[in-house]
Amino acid sequence: MGKLYNLAWGLSLLWTAAVGATQAHYTGVKIEPDIRVDFQFYKVKGATMQAALAQASSIGPKGSFGQQGLGMASYQLNWSMLAYPLAGNCSLNGVKVTTRIKVMVPEWVNKSQASVREQQNWNIMVGAMLDYESRHKDIVQETASAIGFKLSQLPRSNDCDALRHQGDLQGQALLAQAKSRFARLAEQTDHGRKLGLSWPFNP
């Protein structure tokens, strides 16, 4: 009889804790993802792959610090919280997470005039570029989803400014994790070289 009593008490305690946890956090918050992925190709010409790459290295996209590259990928991720005061509390109705991803790689427009071997090598190189950046894209999109989920389940607050501040802290922490994942990806793939990305090209 004592065991049954202890078991019933334990279940009651767990149920109470679960109810308390649910009441202490926001629930039913709408998460609105806004994701746009833009793949662009800039055109280069050359009788050989080396000539096409030489042109790409001179007209290719520039990074945020002005460095020239064959390709480029940029990522923007931000969030907003639809929160407003209501009856002495802060009502959280929605979380919007905006993601913008842009990837630019060269397109060798007269590739068909080159040898079959060079065409294959070009496809390998561009494929490696897209593979490498696609892995970054996956990290960004996973981070965006995590931010939306995390912010939608924040502890309840009666101060909307404090709630937004807490949301920003949580979002920034997840961004820091994404940067760490970027660094691990670069290390594991030797900045894409292990995927077939190298310059000068070395098949």
pLDDT tens digit string along 99-115? 999 999 999 999 999 99
Considering the domain boundaries, does residue 8 fall inside one? no
The arrangement of strands across the sheet holding 89-108 comes to 30-44, 89-108, 72-86
Q: Is the pLDDT of residue 169 over 60?
A: yes
**Is the dihedral angle over the CA atoms 160, 165, 170, 175 positive or is it negative?**
positive
- Give percent of the chain with pLDDT exceeding 70: 83
Expressed as residue numbers, the domain containing 31 is: 25-195
Cα–Cα–Cα angle for 34, 39, 45, rounded to 5 degrees: 165
Considering the domain boundaries, does residue 136 fall inside one? yes
Q: CB within 8 A of 63, min separation 6: which ones?
A: 69, 72
Considering the domain boundaries, does residue 157 fall inside one? yes
Query: Average of pLDDT values for 114-142?
Result: 94
Which amino acid, 39? F
Considering the domain boundaries, does residue 36 fall inside one? yes
Residue 184 has which token pair?
Answer: 């691990």
**61 CA to centre of own chain:** 21
Considering the domain boundaries, does residue 201 fall inside one? no
pTM of the model: 0.79
Considering the domain boundaries, does residue 19 fall inside one? no
Model confidence at 20, in pLDDT bands (50, 70, 90)? very low
Considering the domain boundaries, does residue 14 fall inside one? no
- Residue 119's CB is within 10 A of a number of other CB atoms, namely 15
Considering the domain boundaries, does residue 15 fall inside one? no
Cα of first residue to Cα of last residue in the chain, in angstroms, is 76
Q: How far is CA 96 from CA 24, 27, 136, in A?
A: 22, 15, 21
Q: Is the pLDDT of residue 13 over 50?
A: no
Q: CB within 8 A of 68, min separation 6: which ones?
A: 57, 58, 60, 62
Distance CA 85, CA 95 (A): 16
Cα–Cα–Cα angle for 69, 196, 63, rounded to 5 degrees: 15
The total domain count for the chain is 1
